[in-house]
Amino acid sequence: MPKLIPDNILDDVLSRIDIVELISGYIPLKRTGRNFKACCPFHHEKTPSFVVSPDRQIYNCFGCGESGNAFKFLMRYEQMDFPEAVEVLARKAGVVLPLNNSADNKTQGVITQLFKINEMAAQFYSDNLQSRDAAGAKDYLLSRGISWDVIKELKIGFAFDKWDSLINFLRAKGVDLNLMDEAGLIVAKDGGGYYDRFRNRIVFPILDVKGRVLGFGCRVLDNSLPKYINSPETLVYTKGKNLYGLNLAREAIRENDFVSVVEGYMDFILPFQSGFKNIVASQGTALTAEQVRLLKRYTNNVIMIYDSDSAGELATLRSLDIFIEEEVNVRVVSLPKGFDPDLFVRKAGVEGLRKEANAACDLFDYKLKVLSSRYDIKDAHNKVKVCALMLETINKIKNAILRAEYLKKLSLKLDVKEEALLEESKRSKSPRVIPPAQVIPKKKPLNISPTEKLLMSLMLEENSLISRMRDNLSPNDFKDERICRIVSVMFNLVEQGREVKPQILMNHLEEDMSSLICEQEFIPEGLSIEHKERMADDCLKRIKDERLKVIRQRLHEEIKVAQNAGDEARLNSLIEEFHSLIKKR
């Protein structure tokens, strides 16, 4: 992906994308006059205040102030960064993005090929599962209560008990052995040659949120070890950076504003199939910071549902501190002994699992419960150890009030004086370098001249007015700094021979300035260009007059200062400037 994308490419992408079509793919839009309206997807509201303009190719919410063009919507809704949003829309628009250099070109080419090879392998494994030779695998999946529809939806497949079935399939498709190796699908033999990495296993393709196959997780049909084998790390797959099922669960996560996290593929499948849609799996490992940040794109509330065995409890404990550091609200479900989410749903149904999720305890109670079951807190030394482990978590909480509340709670639970805990908390904290206080400038009140705002709106409606105004005023003639910046960008774009459209203009502006474009003055339909020119000339005259008034006031004040100081040379210069200003007016 290029780091710097030329402006003409961005303009080309935006010119080919219809923002109404794009946004209607995410939320239902209803036409109202020239525009479309909906309830804002970025804040809760009952009365629609989210407006999409097909003429300007921008959106604006009059409730929360969120506004932007197609890039901004995708960034905000899908939690993408700018290059990702450009890549997605460029692909949709059929625009080819340039690459920075030959090294990037080569890497990008390999990445593209790996995605294609993984997709081919996933289809191969899926087709295998439907063959007669996979009867055992099919029986196993069906015996676990997995429906054929979900098998297809998750692209579950089967790797034959052969050394080279995938190799032969991909070779017949013209895929090079080196690329198969690069994708992690085959393993090099000691004496030369290769063999299939996955054999006689059920295959679970691991997809990213865009639905691309990154790698595979494979399970045996019996109790032999290792039970699971995953793809090695490749250019497209990094263990601990993805979550199984997120591509299917993300909309339900957004809708419910929480996500349940389970450990393995099978723990995900049956709850998901039964209607528990806001669920993902960590693929058998403790959660990483990257995975937590990925979840934060969709919600700030997480419920961990791990096995109640020792390994599951330890995995959950390791994850808790990551949630605290990322400032995510986390609660934990403790399933009965001997139950994992898959077995629990089969025994108690999906409503039983939902009930457990609703009754999940917070991280403090969960960690203290686990530690109390392992250490006899009646013993003074064990109590010290539990306190130290609890303080490790409490000290990571950034909110001082919440931290104080947990210290008070720990004091009551363990019958330890709060002062002693506070002292130990201060002692156990690692020293931090505190940066100097940052002076945040006060935000200027939104007090824009209606004349300046109207002229900006007229220029956006009629690009011919931009050149007309450029010959008669300077951006500095505008009192408001944001309007000054917007007009300056307009003049630059026209000078480059480019069309000035609201959605394109936004790419060159900061967010608070972009919102001004969405809130431009209303101009009645059907006005002739001559009428708009007269309105623009009138705005021009008022702005010039206001500018001269400001300069005249400044000269008055400076003349007084020069008179009081007895500075004849400075006084004469200012009087001459004042008379020149009067003549100009």
Instruction: Say whether pLDDT at 472 is over 70.
Output: yes
Helix-, strand-, coil-residue percentages of the chain, each rounded to 5: 55, 10, 35
For residue 375, how many other CB atoms are within 10 A of its CB?
16
**CA-to-CA dists, residue 182 to 101, 187, 235, 251, angstroms:** 22, 10, 8, 33
**Residue 443 pLDDT:** 38
Which of 278-282, 381-385, 502-506 has the largest mean confidence? 278-282
Provide the percentage of residues in the chain whose pLDDT is more than 90.
36
Tokens of 378: 């009646």
**Residue 434 pLDDT:** 35
Q: Compute the CA torsion angle 463, 467, 470, 473 (nearest 10 deg).
A: -80
- The whole-number average pLDDT for the span 197-202 is 96
**Residue 442 pLDDT:** 38
**Residue 407 pLDDT:** 93
**Residue 247 pLDDT:** 92
Instruction: Say whether pLDDT at 445 is over 50.
Output: no
- The whole-number average pLDDT for the span 416-437 is 68
**Residue 3 pLDDT:** 44
Q: What is the DSSP string of 156-225?
A: -EEE-S-SSHHHHHHHHTT--HHHHHHTT-EEE-TTS-EEES--SEEEEEEE-TTS-EEEEEEE-SSS-S
**Residue 46 pLDDT:** 83
Domains of the chain with bracketed CATH: 7-93 (3.90.580.10), 102-230 (3.90.980.10), 246-363 (3.40.1360.10), 375-428 (no CATH), 450-584 (1.10.860.10)
For residue 85, how many other CB atoms are within 10 A of its CB?
20
What is the DSSP-derived secondary structure letter of residue 477?
A: G
Model confidence pLDDT, tens digit, residues 241-252: 899 999 999 889
Model confidence pLDDT, tens digit, residues 4-20: 678 878 888 888 888 99
Which of 100-104, 241-245, 560-564 has the largest mean confidence? 241-245
- The whole-number average pLDDT for the span 293-316 is 78
- The whole-number average pLDDT for the span 527-533 is 84
Tokens of 360: 């999940």
Asked if residues 98 and 220 have their Cβ atoms less than 8 Å apart, the reply is no
Helices and strands in the chain, H and E counts: 25, 16
Average pLDDT of the chain, as a whole number? 85
Model confidence pLDDT, tens digit, residues 175-189: 999 999 999 999 999
**Residue 446 pLDDT:** 52
Q: Are strands 301-306 and 259-262 parallel, antiparallel or unpaired?
A: parallel
Model confidence pLDDT, tens digit, residues 147-171: 999 999 999 999 999 999 999 999 9
Instruction: Say whether pLDDT at 433 is over 50.
Output: no
Provide the percentage of residues in the chain whose pLDDT is more than 70.
89
> What does the alpha-carbon distance between residue 59 and residue 148 come to, in Å, rounded to a whole number?
42
**Residue 447 pLDDT:** 62
At 228, which helix (H) or strand (E)?
strand 228-230
| Burial of 412 from C-beta contacts in 10 A (0-12 / 13-18 / 19+) | exposed
For residue 425, how many other CB atoms are within 10 A of its CB?
19
